[in-house]
C-alpha cells in the first residue's frame, strides 16, 4: 500500500470513530431521531457534492424509491439505533459493536446461503 492510501484509511478511521463521540454528545441533547437525521443529511449532502464533482448521474427521478428504501434500512435505521444506544452506553462500546458488523454480515450471509441451498420439505416427498 502506498503512504497516501494509509493516510486516507487513517483519516477515514478518525472521521468514522469520531462520529460516535459526537453521537454520544448530541443524542442526549437533540434526541436519537434528530441525531440520526442530521447524520444521514450530512452524508447525503456530501454524496451529492461528490456526485457533482465526478459528474455522476444517479438518476434520482427513476430510482428514488429504491434509494429511499435502501437508505432507510442501510443508513437511517442503524444510525437511529446507534443514536439510541448512545443514550445508554459509552461511545467506545458503540464503536466496538459497529466494528462487528462485517463479522455478523458474514455469519448471516453464510447461514442464508446454507438455508437457500436446502431443498424445501415438499420436494422431498
* Residue-range domain boundaries for the chain: 12-98
**What is the average pLDDT score of the chain?**
86
Q: By C-alpha distance, which of 67, 60, 94 is closest to 80?
A: 94
**Nine-digit cell at 34?**
434528530
Q: How far apart are CA 52 and CA 107, in angstroms?
A: 37
Q: Which residue shows C-alpha cell 478518525?
A: 14
At residue 123 the predicted structure's pLDDT band, cuts being 50, 70 and 90, is low
Q: How far apart are CA 71 and CA 65, in angstroms?
A: 10
pLDDT, one tens digit per residue, over 77-88 is 988 998 999 899
Q: How far apart are CA 2 and CA 16, in angstroms?
A: 21
pLDDT at residue 57 in the model: 92
**Nine-digit cell at 115?**
438455508
* Terminal CA-CA length for the chain: 55
Please count the residues of the chain.
125
Tell me, yes or no, if the pTM score tops 0.85. no
Amino acid at each position: 500500500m502506498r503512504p497516501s492510501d494509509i493516510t486516507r484509511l487513517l483519516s477515514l478511521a478518525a472521521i468514522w470513530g469520531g462520529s460516535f463521540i459526537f453521537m454520544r454528545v448530541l443524542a442526549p441533547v437533540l434526541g436519537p431521531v434528530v441525531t440520526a437525521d442530521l447524520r444521514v443529511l450530512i452524508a447525503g449532502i456530501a454524496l451529492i457534492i461528490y456526485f457533482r464533482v465526478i459528474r455522476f448521474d444517479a438518476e434520482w427521478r427513476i430510482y428514488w424509491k429504491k434509494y429511499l428504501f435502501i437508505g432507510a434500512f442501510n443508513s437511517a435505521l442503524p444510525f437511529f439505533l446507534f443514536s439510541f444506544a448512545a443514550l445508554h452506553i459509552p461511545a467506545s462500546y458503540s464503536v466496538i459493536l459497529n466494528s462487528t458488523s462485517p463479522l455478523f454480515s458474514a455469519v448471516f450471509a453464510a447461514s442464508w446461503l446454507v438455508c437457500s441451498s436446502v431443498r424445501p420439505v415438499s420436494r422431498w416427498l
